[in-house]
Structures are given as structure tokens and as C-alpha cells.
Copies of this chain bind each other. A is one copy, B any other.
Amino acid sequence: MEFKEAKNKFVQTWGALGSQWGINKTMAQIHALLMVSNEAVSMEDIMAELQISRGNASMNLRALMDWGIVYKEYKAGERREFFTAEKDLDELAVKISRERSKREIKPALKILKEVSTIEAKDSAEEKHFVDQTSKLYDFVLKADNMLDKMTEFNENWLGRLVLKIMK
């Protein structure tokens, strides 16, 4: 397999994986492209490589920057903007997990708390509901906190964790 083919395969795969995890395909593809580029890439080049429109490129770059995993870069004497991706994988994982926690887990926890604290009447049905949603609340809260703690390690947290868990 030659370089160009490999690069394309990687970008496509990363895009597909993104969709499966609720991240839009183009956003994941742009990220993939930047991750494996050794230098900052202009919007023009991104558009050309991925065959996407200007608007699409712009919107997804904005989204990636909101997630904190892609940065704008300015080159001396160049009017146009260039983009780079966070390339440190530990840092990337930390940022993604922080954002997803903030955007999705935290709001879900809020709802879980609400519904698990209703006044359960005497019916078995209602008791089971309160019991199950309470357990779910605890579980999700614990998992969310753990993710936080895990990634808080900083500097090769995944490697360290593996050691800690194995031992």
C-alpha cells in the first residue's frame, strides 16, 4: 500500500468511526486529516483533499475548535489561516471526554436525578422505577467521576492506569 492510499484509508475509517460514535463524518475526517499532517493545512487544501464545500469545511473546523482539539495558526506573511490538530493522544482523549461529559452526561444526570426522586407510591411498579433510576444515577455519576479522575492523572495517564489496574 502506498502513502496516498493509506492516508485516504485512514481518513475514511476515522470518519466512519466518528459517525458510529455520534460525531459527524466530515468533522471526524477533517480531524483525521490534520492529525496525520506534519504541518498546518489551509482551508483550501482541506476542501480539496476531502472534496467538500467551503461552508462545510468552515462549520466543521469551527466545531473542532469549540471542542478544543483543532487550532488556528497564522503564518507570517500569509493572509489565510491554517489549521492543526491536537496530536498528543492523551490530551486528545482528555478533551473529548471532558466535552462529552459536559454536553451529554451532565445534562442526563440532571434528568436522572429528577425522575429518580419522585414520590413513589406504594405500587410495585413505581417502586421499581425509582429503584432502577436511582441505581442508574449512581452508576452514571460514578463512571463520570471516574473518567474525570482517570484523565486527571495527566502525562500518559492511560499507560499509568493500565499498570495500576493490572497490579
User: Interface on A for B, CB 8 Å cutoff?
Assistant: 1-3, 6-7, 9-10, 13, 17, 19-22, 35-38, 87, 89, 93, 104, 108, 111-112, 114-115, 118, 120-121, 124-129, 132-133, 135-136, 139, 142-143, 145-146, 149-150, 158-159, 161-162, 164-166
Q: Are B6 and A115 in contact, with the CB atoms below 8 A?
A: yes
Considering the chains assembled together, what is the distance between the CA atoms of A128 and B13 in angstroms?
Answer: 18
Considering the chains assembled together, what is the distance between the CA atoms of A159 and B114 in angstroms?
Answer: 23
Secondary structure at chain A's binding surface: helix, strand, loop or mixed? helix
Q: Are A136 and B21 in contact, with the CB atoms below 8 A?
A: no
Known: A9-B114, A13-B108, A111-B10. A159 touches B142 (CB 8 A): yes
Chain B residue, CB-CB nearest to A125: B38
Q: Are A1 and B36 in contact, with the CB atoms below 8 A?
A: no
Chain B residue, CB-CB nearest to A149: B165
Q: Are A162 and B133 in contact, with the CB atoms below 8 A?
A: no
B contact residues around A37 at 8 Å (CB): 125, 128
For the complex of A and B, 7 pairs with smallest distance between CB atoms? A38-B128, A6-B115, A89-B139, A13-B111, A20-B22, A6-B118, A10-B115
B contact residues around A21 at 8 Å (CB): 21-22, 104
Considering the chains assembled together, what is the distance between the CA atoms of A63 and B108 in angstroms?
Answer: 24
Q: Are A104 and B17 in contact, with the CB atoms below 8 A?
A: yes
Instruction: Looking at the assembled complex, report how far the CB atom of A147 sits from the nearest CB atom of chain B, in whole angstroms.
Output: 11
